[in-house]
């Protein structure tokens, strides 16, 4: 993975202490462009007006929680970037919450207390191993499957981007390369 100095992060948490911790960890990785937001409304505005490469959002926030924020990013017609990788942070790691985050369109899920090693793994995953986006009547977001079963050859097998749904032609991933 290339250095993170050109990657622009948006860190959203209602807890200033947590924003500071995440920012410190990211700067330790070489990140220089870190935008902070204290709530989902401010974050949505920043996402619409800034070229954000990776979003890191807390699960539990006032007004709109992290899940509702992710759904807004993924489904709103005025979203700044529906394809932005989203890493969700939470102290609530029950299976139902992880599945809820996945089904909202979260790219990666990271449990608190967050460690530098774990956050680095998640950042590397969204940059070095981007997943194709899926569009169905009930879901829009990164492919929820982690493994490709090469032995399955049934009628519902997916093969990356669908013909009717690709990222915008001018979209480039977090490292500036096309995700086609």
The reply to whether 104 falls in a domain is: yes
Flag whether pLDDT at 154 surpasses 80: no
Whole-angstrom Cα distance, residue 94 to residue 99? Answer: 9
Percent share of the chain, pLDDT over 90: 52
Q: Please state, in angstroms and rounded to a whole number, the distance separating the CA atoms of residues 12 and 87.
A: 10
pLDDT tens for 92-139 read 888 988 898 998 999 999 999 999 999 999 999 999 988 888 888 888
144/27 Cα distance (integer angstroms): 29
- 123 in any annotated domain: yes
Is the alpha carbon torsion for 88, 38, 21, 7 positive or negative?
positive
- Closest-CA residue to 100 (of 122, 69, 121): 69
Q: Which of 64, 67, 106, 65 is nearest to 87 (CA)?
A: 106
pTM of the model: 0.80
Tell me if 180 is assigned to some domain: no
List the CATH number of the domain containing 108.
Answer: 3.40.50.2300
> What's the pLDDT score for residue 77?
87
């Amino acid at each position: 993975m290339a250095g993170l100095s050109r990657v622009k992060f948006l860190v959203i948490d209602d807890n200033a202490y947590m924003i500071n911790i995440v920012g410190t960890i990211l700067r330790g990785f070489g990140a220089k462009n870190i935008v902070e937001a204290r709530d989902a409304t401010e974050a949505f505005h920043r996402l619409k007006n800034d070229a954000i490469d990776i979003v890191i959002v807390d699960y539990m926030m006032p007004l709109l929680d992290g899940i509702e924020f992710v759904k807004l990013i993924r489904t709103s017609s005025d979203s700044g970037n529906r394809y932005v990788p989203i890493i969700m942070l939470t102290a609530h790691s029950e299976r139902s919450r992880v599945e809820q985050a996945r089904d909202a369109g979260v790219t990666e899920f990271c449990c608190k207390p967050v460690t530098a090693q774990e956050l680095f793994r998640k950042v590397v995953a969204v940059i070095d191993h981007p997943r194709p986006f899926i569009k169905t009547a009930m879901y829009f977001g990164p492919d929820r499957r982690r493994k490709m079963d090469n032995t399955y050859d049934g009628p519902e097998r997916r093969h990356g981007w669908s013909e009717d749904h690709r990222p915008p032609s001018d979209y480039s991933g977090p490292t500036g390369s096309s995700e086609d």
